[in-house]
Amino acid sequence: MKINILLILFFLIAVKSYPQINQSWIGIWSGELFIYNSSDQKTINTVHMELHISPADSASLYRWRMIYKDSANDDRKYLLRTLNENQGKYEIDERNGILIDAKMFNNKLLTRFNVQGYLSDVSYELDNDKIIFEVISGSDTPLRTTAESEENENVVSFNLSAYQKAILYKIQ
């Protein structure tokens, strides 16, 4: 009986404390985006980046604006829509017909998508006074397939060709 009560309490706490986009995400975040390639693992480019997060016209919608370099060069005015807050399900609406599903794990919002043969994993992690933004990408063509002999389960590996990282600090 005690175990059942403890399990129910644990479940209720876990459901209520499910990470969500909340007031702590709201603001203007700014920093440098470092872009690396896989051939020499050195920085091949550095670009100023900003992420502007603000409430939109409904409780389940946020403006998710990404600026690279400056707003005249690359200003992406997306929307972040809450699909199921209790399950941490969101979507990024690029406002051109493209919708990218996103999932919240702890304080990290994750996306995975494929564009023209390249897989990209993108993460936004809220860490106190900063958001850590990362992109890992590479071809969706398998690099190799191996199998476990006993279970005969295939494992497919993919090439990683680019990595990007920015530490964005709240400036407003």
**DSSP tally for the chain: helices H, then strands E:** 1, 12
Residue pLDDT tens, the chain, 172 long: 455 554 454 444 444 455 688 999 999 999 999 999 877 667 789 999 999 999 998 989 999 999 999 888 899 999 999 999 999 999 999 999 999 999 999 999 999 999 999 999 999 999 999 999 999 999 999 999 998 777 778 899 999 999 999 999 999 9
Nearest to 50 by CA among 63, 60, 41: 63
Whole-model pTM: value is: 0.84
Domain 21-170, second-level architecture: Beta Barrel (2.40)
